[in-house]
Structure 1
Amino acid sequence: MTDLFHPNSMNFTPFLFFTGKGGVGKTSTACATAVTLADMGKRVLLVSTDPASNLQDVFEIELKNEPTAIPSVPNLFAANLDPETAAHAYKEKVVGPYRGKLPEAVIATMEEQLSGACTVEIAAFDEFSTLLTNKELTAQFDHILFDTAPTGHTLRLLQLPTAWSGFLDESTHGASCLGPLAGLDAKKTLYKESVEALSNPEKTTLLLVTRPDSSPLQEAARASKELREIGLKNQYLLVNGVMKDYVQGDEVSMALFTRQTRALDGIPVELKGLKTFEIPLVPFNIAGVQNIRKLFAFEQGESVQVEEKAALHIPSLKTLIEDLAESNKRVIFTMGKGGVGKTTVASAIAIGLAEKGQRVHLTTTDPAAHLEYVLHGEQGKITVSRIDPKAEVEKYQQEVISQAQDALDEEGLAYLEEDLRSPCTEEIAVFRAFADIVEKAKEEVVVIDTAPTGHTLLLLDAAQSYHKEIARSTGEVPQSVQNLLPRLRNPEETSVVIVTLAEATPVHEASRLQDDLKRADIEPKWWVINQSFYSTKTTDPLLRGRAMSEVQWIQEVQQKSNNHCVMIPWQSEDTVGYQKLKALTV
């Protein structure tokens, strides 16, 4: 039997890192742990390095990058490091010396290489490394908690000798994401000490936060394996939002309990050896110190008072599909963070358009390929293709490496190989495959599950300009990609649909995705709020409380989308097969 997570009964190391997919509850778990330890008389510093952090919303106080005392919790201090500001300063330090000396197209490429998520993570690592190794500061606290840990990719990159050599100042190998790590050499010792502290089980514990759902559990398994391989072996698994029982006769309550039980019974093998704790599902938002203190004390089954809120009227997916059909869109992307249901939404849109008589090509990167109609290849007016991200990435990596290997030594190739494991590399590789499909689909509407970020689009765009200015050893931008880029910017032809959940982190991250796309001159029109308890008829007080807690995020999506949003209710059964997907569209 899995233990409940109670920090007051645990012997923690000085440094605690919380990591996990967006929306699994990292921030709320880190906040509640920090408050519990402070209430025990420990001096605690809580630090967020997440660009989408809502730490100040949770504590209802303005935070900065210096430790700030939380008035309502003696012994607790918090800091909200802004990695995006740090990344901007870092980018300017690298690019600044070349302004006016290199062509504008080259400068644009350098800037875009340094605008991705990996660069922000490097900057975040820079920020918390200063805290981690500041002996004067760490001596003031019994525990320092970090909301968001670095990925294995970033840590591996920083451990490579090439990252600290002059090679990067001169290289034109075409880093897909991070670009040159110039300017970091002075901090080599600092980073080395930080990585050593992270790997020391007497100093650091890694808390992998997940939900009792297959997608977050798989993500936690990948992170656990990747971080364990580079020395971060002191790991706990925290399963957040677990239902301990259900309400008889409530279809939603019973289905959620069954789904969670099934997911936990099938927990990935990489996680089975970890000490695992559960945090129960609660009917309230984790905002304000009062609710933070209730998180670990809440017992399911206790009386729940649900504060009903004014009714919101959000249209169904049918409204979005009618708009896409009437406006004659030819290319439709679904976009959003992992786990929000992009594949389901893309599939439902494809079926909805096909039911209106349009010929549709649905292309997906869904690795599970569990949807029945995908396995059948073609149903009615839908043609289905699957892209294997792993195969596309390998093909792209080989192409770049083969063109660069004559100019690089062993260390240079090691750096390039690690750089090509970045998230942007996968986006570029998969987008190239998508572009080939769009090029061939002349008479069909093409629905694409997963769009590239604005950063990746700008990176590809800059690469085209770069080619015109200078010979460069990198993967070529195929003609199909060059053709698709301007089509993406044409709102008459293309629509990008943002998919989210009615929760804090998914909405914050979706908002950042929208801003990123606007930077690339792409204006998403529609948002889809997926898996909403608010639009179900559940009578379970626990789930009704969750439904009411969605209201503020639904209202924020209404505002962000200028009321161009639709909602899909939480589904009691897995949405697989043509008929179940069709039911979402009527």
Structure 2
Amino acid sequence: MTLYQPSTAGLTHYLFFTGKGGVGKTTMATATAVQLADAGKQVMIVSTDPASNLQDVFETKLTNQPQPIPGVTGLDAANFDPIVAANEYRESVVGPYRGVLPDAAIQNMSEQLSGSCTVEIASFNEFAKFLTDPTIDQKYDYIIFDTAPTGHALRMLQLPSAWSNYLDQNHEGASCLGQLAGLGDQKATYEKAVATLNDGMLTTLLLVTRPQRASLVETRRAADELAQIGMTNQKLIINGVLEEPTDEPSQNIYDRQQADLENMPEKLKQLPVAEVPLRAYNIMGLDNIRTLLQDQQPVIKVQPVNQADFPSIDSVVADLLKTKKKIIFTMGKGGVGKTTVAVQLAKKLAAHQKTVHLATTDPADHLSLFQIDDPAITVSHIDEQQVLKAYQNEVLSKAKQTMSADDVDYIAEDLRSPCTQEIAVFRAFAEVVAQNDSEVVIIDTAPTGHTLLLLNSTENYAEEVKRTTGEVPQSVLDLLPRLQDASQTEIITVTLPETTPIYESLRLNDDLDRAKMPHKWWIVNQSLLATRTTNPVLQARANSETQWIEKVKSVSKGHYAVEKWQPNFEKINLTV
């Protein structure tokens, strides 16, 4: 396999690094930027990722204005906060109506612009500035983006009615297109930005992944989604490949990585692929950034692993049994192992004579990778495309009974917007939670942050459903009170003992606080520290986990568990 070297990778003017949280896209973006600048190029790196640790990597405070990075001639960096950008975008839409419309109308407008769609559009606003500004274009040889725009946002921008005056005239509302209300006359700018993204001579999409099956599957989905909207010039970077196993844990990891790479999706095998070895150090500070992609690596100073006995998942199960929880979520970003945890919980609860319904709303359906043959456990998967098609057919059938042909055409287009899929999946998800055939319902992958925001006001969500279908299922009306009831519901935060997954989990917990949903337990998954490895590289990585496990212990007020890294957890009967 080829080692990743930016100077020989045939990169274009614009470089977009993308990948799930924790795969190392910021690391790859910054290492690329520094190497190119050290080679005499003029480079700018921009982040619009709320989880980005760009400031920490460069050990420099950054703003939304490009500024030089000390110690790297020719490198400028900017760090945009998409949440701040979304707030500014929302105020630009709502502000002109303050004092003109009633307070209730202002509040309704603000709520409609509080979803993840608004964050994505605000982020794309920032992308568009750098993709269309001729001054920036001429000043830099390379413009690097840490995090690509989502396919979700790009699909919204490509819907014809996103730019139609109908948005101003439509009083029915729209599930997704309403987020575009503040774009005004920027259509030409956005069209140029999208055209630049789709031009393979100008733009390269660098897909960053881990050498793990779940991460590779998610990367393939991202590659397909972005290719469908025109971003076809793609390269794959596999980050964190273990090179020299020396003990049982490292051998297990090595064997597992090699097996997953051998069986990676064919779509990814067709792309130009490069690897970056697993390093023993955290990528913080210029010295480590510069060292990361070099052939010669510093000698590892072997330090004994700090031995520690951590609480296990059994302590979580004991509490779930004691408190008689009926609805359990495993929440977390892609790749943290929430499906593994969900299966473990189901099997352990079943071993205590509980009947369990285990469901997933994850389109990747990782549950299908597990052998689950306990008669006390039933398994279901919400098929996104199937429930979306059924929902679209239902809405259009009702619309045709009362609306004009023009209005029906608009509703049909609105139903192709990405947020419609969230609503369809949410209704199916509500039905799963409402089922009473099992004593416990465990759901792998909860509603999106966007849906959680909609859930903050049951009335608003019910109105959104009623707008399209004319009726609100009882399961939807009952859902929020049940999710907010700590006597019934427990949301378990699954994370990894690493910087980005921990920070993303903390933000998720803030969202849950705002939605008033109970979330007592944390599970730190895939811990190397808990394996007691003696491999030098893994030992160094393991010792760096200590601060993050302590962080979780503090935030959770002691309600946490640590699960060690385990090989071959798929297609096996997990022990109880």
TM-score > 0.5 by shorter chain: yes
Matched with 1:259 is 256
Distance 1:177 1:157, change over 3 A: closer
Distance 2:447 2:458 in 1: 15
**C-alpha separation in 1, matches of 2:212 and 2:62:** 33
Which stretch of structure 1 is more off in the superposition, 287-296 or 427-436?
A: 427-436
Residue 224 of structure 1 aligns to a residue whose secondary structure is helix
Change (3 A) 1:482 1:445: same
The aligned runs of 1:348-427 (5 Å cut-off) are 348-365=344-361, 367-370=365-368, 373-374=371-372, 376=373, 378-379=374-375, 381-404=376-399, 406=403, 408=406, 412-413=410-411, 415-419=413-417, 421-422=418-419, 425-427=420-422
Letter in 2 for 1:319: S
Aligned-partner Cα distance in 2 for 1:318–1:545: 28
Amino acid paired to 1:370: S
Q: Take 1:107 and 1:394, find their aligned partners in 2: how far apart are those partners?
A: 33
CA shift in 2, pair 1:165/1:347, >3 Å: same
Q: In the alignment, is residue 92 of structure 1 matched against residue 91 of structure 2?
A: yes
RMSD over aligned CA atoms reads 2.7
**1:477–1:307 distance in 2 versus 1, CA, 3 Å:** farther
**Alignment of structure 1 residues 122-161 onto 2, 5 Å:** 122-161=121-160
Q: Is the 8 A contact 2:45 2:143 kept in 1?
A: yes
Where does 1:97-108 land on structure 2 (aligned, <5 Å)? Answer: 97=96
Q: CA separation in 2, counterparts of 1:471 and 1:224?
A: 35
In the alignment, the residues of structure 2 paired with residue 178 and residue 518 of structure 1 have an alpha-carbon distance, to the nearest angstrom, of 28
Query: In 2, Cα distance between the equivalents of 1:231 and 1:384?
Result: 36
Between the aligned partners of 1:199 and 1:436, the Cα distance in structure 2 is 40
Residue 118 of structure 2 is matched in structure 1 by: 119
> 1:168 is matched with which residue?
167
Asked whether 1:493 is paired with 2:491, we answer no
> Quick check: 2:462–2:472 contact (8 Å CA) kept in 1?
no
Deviation at 1:473, TM superposition (A): 3.0
Matches within 5 A, 1:161-240: 161-172=160-171, 174-177=173-176, 179-240=178-239
Give 1:341's match in structure 2, choosing from 337, 347, 365. Answer: 337
Name the residue aligned to 2:243.
244
Q: Counterpart of 1:207 in 2: which secondary structure?
A: strand
1:443-482 matches, cutoff 5 A: 444-453=439-448, 455-460=450-455, 462=457, 464-465=459-460, 472-474=467-469, 476-482=471-477
Contact 2:23 2:208 in 1 (8 A): yes
**Greater displacement, 118-127 / 306-315:** 306-315
Q: Are the structure 2 counterparts of residues 164 and 446 from structure 1 closer, same or farther at C-alpha, using a change threshold of 3 Å?
A: same
Residues 527 and 104 from structure 1, CA distance in 2 versus in 1: closer, same or farther, beyond 3 angstroms?
farther
Structure 1 residue 328 and structure 2 residue 327: aligned? no
Cα deviation, residue 453, structure 1:
4.0
| CA distance in 1 between partners of 2:423 and 2:311 (Å) | 34
Check conservation: 2:34, 2:290, Cα contact below 8 A: yes
1:318 aligns with 2:314: yes
Q: CA deviation at 1:566?
A: 0.8
In structure 2, relative to structure 1, the CA distance for the partners of 1:155 and 1:259 (3 Å cut) is: same
1:12 matches 2:11? yes
Q: 1:90, CA displacement in angstroms?
A: 1.4
Deviation at 1:481, TM superposition (A): 2.2
Q: CA separation in 1, counterparts of 2:485 and 2:378?
A: 24
SS of 1:418's equivalent in the other structure is coil
Deviations 1:63-88 (A, max 9, x none): 10001211122211110011111111
Q: Secondary structure at the match of 1:144?
A: strand
In the alignment, which of 273, 277, 280 is matched to residue 274 of structure 2? 277
Where 1:8 maps in the other structure, the secondary structure is helix
Give 1:383 shift: 3.5
State the shift of 1:291 in Å: 1.0
- My pick for the range that moved more, 513-522 or 544-553, is 544-553
Match of 1:433 in 2: 428
Judge which range, 512-521 or 407-416, deviates more: 407-416
Partner of 1:549: 544
Unaligned stretches of 5+ residues in structure 2: none
**Amino acid aligned to 1:40:** A
Contact map agreement 2:118 2:179 (CA 8 A) in 1: no
Q: Which amino acid aligns with 1:412?
A: Y
Selected match of 2:293 from 288, 292, 296: 296
Please tell me the residue identity of whatever aligns with 1:351.
K
Q: Which of 529, 533, 536 does residue 531 from structure 2 map onto? A: 536
Stretch deviating more after TM superposition (11-20 or 170-179): 170-179
Instruction: Go from structure 1 to structure 2 and tell me whether the alpha carbon gap of 1:478 and 1:299 turns closer, same or farther (over 3 Å shift).
Output: farther
Is 1:563 the counterpart of 2:558 in the alignment?
yes
Report the Cα distance in structure 1 between the residues aligned to 2:355 and 2:465, rounded to whole angstroms: 42
Go from structure 1 to structure 2 and tell me whether the alpha carbon gap of 1:5 and 1:428 turns closer, same or farther (over 3 Å shift): same
Contact 1:453–1:513 (CA<8 Å) still a contact in 2?
no
Is the Cα–Cα contact under 8 Å of residues 528 and 565 in structure 2 kept in the other structure? yes
2:308·2:530 contact (CA, 8 Å) conserved in 1?
no
Paired residues of 1:335 and 1:450 also in contact (CA < 8 A): yes
CA drift of 1:564 comes to: 1.8
SS in 1 for 2:349: helix
Shift of 1:186: 1.9
Bigger mean CA deviation after superposition, 174-183 or 130-139: 174-183
Q: Which amino acid is 1:527 matched to?
A: W
Decide which moves more: 229-238 or 284-293: 229-238
Normalised to the residue count of structure 2, the TM-score between the two structures is 0.91
Counterpart-to-counterpart distance in 1, 2:427 and 2:482? 14
Aligned residue type for 1:222: R
Name the amino acid aligned to 1:44.
V
Counterpart in the other structure of 1:73: 72
Describe the superposition over 1:383-439 as per-residue Cα deviations: whole angstroms up to 9, x where unpaired. 4333333322332333344444645558734641332x34xx454433433432333
Change (3 A) 1:350 1:225: closer
C-alpha distance in structure 2 between counterparts of 1:326 and 1:53, whole Å: 39
In the TM superposition, residue 277 of structure 1 has moved relative to its aligned partner by 1.0
Q: 1:410 to 1:43 in 2, by over 3 A?
A: farther
Counterpart residue type for residue 509 of structure 1: E
Partner of 1:46: 45
Q: Sequence identity of aligned pairs in percent?
A: 51
Structure 1 residues 76, 188: closer, same or farther in 2, change over 3 A? same
Cα distance in 1 for partners of 2:527, 2:50 equals: 25
1:343-370 CA deviation, whole Å, 9 max, x = no partner?
A: 2111211222222333333223462443
CA offset digits 1:449-479 (Å, max 9, x no partner): 2222454134145363475799733574320
Paired with 2:134 and 2:408, the residues of 1 have a C-alpha distance of 37
1:18-53 Cα distance to aligned partner (Å, 9 max, x none): 111111110000000001011111111110010111
Superposition deviation, residue 490 in structure 1 = 1.4
Write the distance in 2 (CA, Å) between the matches of 1:136 and 1:240.
Answer: 34
**For residues 332 and 5 of structure 1, do their structure 2 counterparts lie closer, same or farther at Cα, with a shift above 3 Å needed?**
same
Q: Is the 8 A contact 1:157 1:415 kept in 2?
A: no
For 2:71, give the aligned amino acid: S
- Number of aligned residue pairs: give it: 571
Question: What secondary structure does 1:567 align onto?
Answer: strand
Structure 1's 186 and 252: CA in aligned 2 closer, same or farther, altered over 3 A? same
Q: Deviations over 1:295-339 (max 9, x none)?
A: 101568x74224457555531111111111112222111111122
Which sits farther off after the overlay, 216-225 or 465-474?
465-474
Q: 1:286, 1:93 → 2: CA distance?
A: 38
What do residues 265-307 of structure 1 show as CA deviations (whole Å, max 9, x unaligned)? 222222232111111111111111111111101568x742244
Cα displacement (A) at 1:492? 2.0
Question: What letter corresponds to residue 54 of structure 1 in structure 2?
Answer: N
Equivalent residues of 2:524, 2:562 under 8 A apart = yes
